[in-house]
């Protein structure tokens, strides 16, 4: 039976990515060696690394003055790398969920942190608005998409301070005005590649303004100066990332992908709003188009396990909600086909009919 992978991450990747990654495990770029065993300094892999970074610049329309690097340590490493490199005295953070608050915790090790607003009191069901960011902040940090709670800021804020964003779960899902940002980072394991590599887009003139010594591996400049090849990079995830990026280009780029994403999300949210058994958990105006969170309506709460089993028997994978929200979460990343969203909706309709 066809499986529909709604996992939050690691998550679905395009068939194109998987097919080419599988072929390269056998024979990489005609070398007669597996991608798993080639030197990262060989010309074939250097070309992959360079092409992937160039394609990221092309797809996201990255202006001059920015560099793209692949790093280790996951997005979680960026929670400390950002303040290490940018926080002199004070930084401002928006608290929109678990990942945002993990980033806040790390920043506090480096200086004053002004949490400008938080939606914690409402279990992060909405994105706070109307906050002010002190102009003497070294930067403002926000999580563009809250993977666990299904809320998203699908816009690039206008502020007079440096802007840093964790875009782990919505990068490449829409066009971004990169010129507004100083650092954007994203773990690869949602819209790019298997786990193991993290992408950072860094405005080079944002660096070099802190007084502290920065350990070599945690200094963005180390990686920028060596064309993202200071140490052994995660070769296989970068190869897979390049395949995904080529597929994005083939599809027509991120503006086309955004339209597809909006359509897929609308299909599922419409059903959640229509179906008597379910309700969405995120404030309607802040709903994420990447992670759709929903629970059983109060009067049908006892049907949760039964729906889980029903959906799983119909081929749905990874729709259990995160423990801090409960219910269900369907992640609709770029590689998720519309037909899988329709299959989930058909399952919800069928379950409703039976109750
Ligand atoms: N930030 C966001 C928005 C995430 O969704 C995740 C993981 O799912 C992380 C950060 C942590 O990423 P990693 O596990 O790569 O450290």
Which residues does 93 contact at the CB level (< 8 Å), separation at least 6?
Answer: 100, 103, 104, 107, 113, 114, 115, 116, 140, 141, 142
Interval between CA 279 and ligand 1 midpoint (Å): 26
The predicted model gives 126-134 an average pLDDT of 97
Peptide bond into 156 cis (omega under 30): no
Instruction: Indicate the DSSP class of residue 29.
Output: T
Residues 253-353, CATH architecture:
Alpha-Beta Complex (3.90)
Interval between CA 144 and ligand 1 midpoint (Å): 12
3-state secondary structure of 157: coil
Instruction: Indicate the DSSP class of residue 115.
Output: E
As annotated, the residues of the chain forming the CATH 3.90.1150.10 domain(s) are 253-353
Chain segment 186-208, per-residue pLDDT in tens: 999 999 999 999 999 999 999 99
pTM for the model stands at 0.98
Q: Is 99 annotated as a binding residue?
A: yes
Residues 96, 124 contacting (CB under 8 angstroms):
yes
Pocket-forming residues, ligand 1, beta carbon under 6 Å: 9, 74-76, 99, 143, 147, 166, 168-169, 187
The predicted model gives 8-12 an average pLDDT of 98
pLDDT band at residue 277 under the 50/70/90 scheme: very high
Q: Which pLDDT does position 16 carry in this prediction? A: 98
Q: Residue with the nearest Cα to atom 5 of ligand 1? A: 147
Q: Residue with the nearest Cα to atom 15 of ligand 1? A: 74
Share of the chain above pLDDT 90, in %: 99
Interval between CA 98 and ligand 1 midpoint (Å): 9
Chain segment 99-111, per-residue pLDDT in tens: 999 999 999 999 9
Q: Is 347 annotated as a binding residue?
A: no
pLDDT band at residue 314 under the 50/70/90 scheme: very high
Which residues does 292 contact at the CB level (< 8 Å), separation at least 6?
Answer: 150, 265, 268, 269, 272, 280, 329, 330, 331, 332
Q: Is 75 annotated as a binding residue?
A: yes
Q: Is the pLDDT of residue 212 over 90?
A: yes
Best probe residue, ligand 1, of 74, 171, 324 (max atoms within 8 Å of C-beta):
74
pLDDT band at residue 86 under the 50/70/90 scheme: very high
Structure tokens of 60? 């996201």
Chain segment 145-180, per-residue pLDDT in tens: 999 999 999 999 999 999 999 999 999 999 999 999
Which segments of 72-220 are extended strands (E)? Answer: 90-95, 112-118, 140-143, 145-146, 151-152, 163-166, 183-187, 198-203
pLDDT band at residue 236 under the 50/70/90 scheme: very high
Q: Residue with the nearest Cα to atom 14 of ligand 1? A: 74
Q: Residue with the nearest Cα to atom 10 of ligand 1? A: 75
What is the C-alpha R_g of the chain? Answer: 21
Catalytic residues, which ones?
99, 166, 190
The predicted model gives 328-345 an average pLDDT of 98
As annotated, the residues of the chain forming the CATH 3.40.640.10 domain(s) are 15-251
pLDDT band at residue 42 under the 50/70/90 scheme: very high
Best probe residue, ligand 1, of 144, 187, 324 (max atoms within 8 Å of C-beta):
187
Which ligand 1 atom is at minimum distance from the Cα of 167? 3
Q: Is 158 annotated as a binding residue?
A: no
Which ligand 1 atom is at minimum distance from the Cα of 97? 3
Interval between CA 187 and ligand 1 midpoint (Å): 6
Q: Is the pLDDT of residue 61 over 90?
A: yes
Residues 15-251, CATH architecture:
3-Layer(aba) Sandwich (3.40)
Q: Which pLDDT does position 179 carry in this prediction? A: 98
Q: Is the pLDDT of residue 1 over 90?
A: no
């Amino acid at each position: 039976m066809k499986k529909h992978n709604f996992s939050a991450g690691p998550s679905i990747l395009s068939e194109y990515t998987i097919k080419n990654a599988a072929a390269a495990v056998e024979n990489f770029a005609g070398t007669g060696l597996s991608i798993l065993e080639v030197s990262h300094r060989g010309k074939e892999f250097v070309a992959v690394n360079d092409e992937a970074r160039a394609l990221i610049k092309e797809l996201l329309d990255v202006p001059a003055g920015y560099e793209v690097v692949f790093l280790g340590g996951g997005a979680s490493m960026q929670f400390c790398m950002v303040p290490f490199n940018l926080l002199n005295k004070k930084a401002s953070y928006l608290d929109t969920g678990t990942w945002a608050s993990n980033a806040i915790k790390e920043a506090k090790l480096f200086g004053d942190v002004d949490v400008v607003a938080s939606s914690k009191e409402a279990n992060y069901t909405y994105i706070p608005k109307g906050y002010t960011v002190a102009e003497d902040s070294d930067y403002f940090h926000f999580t563009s998409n809250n993977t666990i709670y299904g809320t998203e800021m699908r816009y690039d804020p206008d502020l007079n301070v440096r802007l840093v964003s964790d875009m782990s779960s919505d990068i490449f899902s829409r066009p971004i005005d990169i010129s507004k940002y100083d650092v954007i980072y994203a773990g690869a394991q949602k819209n790019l590649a298997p786990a193991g590599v993290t992408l950072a887009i860094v405005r080079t003139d944002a660096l070099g303004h802190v007084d502290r010594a920065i350990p070599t591996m945690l200094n963005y400049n180390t990686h920028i100066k060596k064309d993202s090849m200071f140490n052994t990079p995660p070769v296989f995830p970068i190869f897979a990332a390049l395949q995904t990026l080529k597929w994005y280009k083939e599809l027509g780029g991120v503006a086309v992908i955004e339209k597809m994403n909006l359509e897929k999300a609308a299909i599922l949210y419409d059903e959640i709003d229509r179906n008597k058994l379910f309700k969405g958990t995120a404030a309607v105006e802040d709903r994420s188009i990447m992670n759709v969170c929903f629970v059983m309506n109060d009067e049908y709460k006892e049907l949760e396990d039964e729906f889980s089993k029903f959906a799983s028997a119909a081929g749905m994978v990874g729709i259990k909600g995160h423990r801090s929200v409960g219910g269900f979460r369907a992640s609709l990343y770029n590689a998720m086909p519309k037909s899988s969203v329709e299959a989930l909706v058909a399952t919800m309709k069928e379950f409703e009919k039976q109750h």
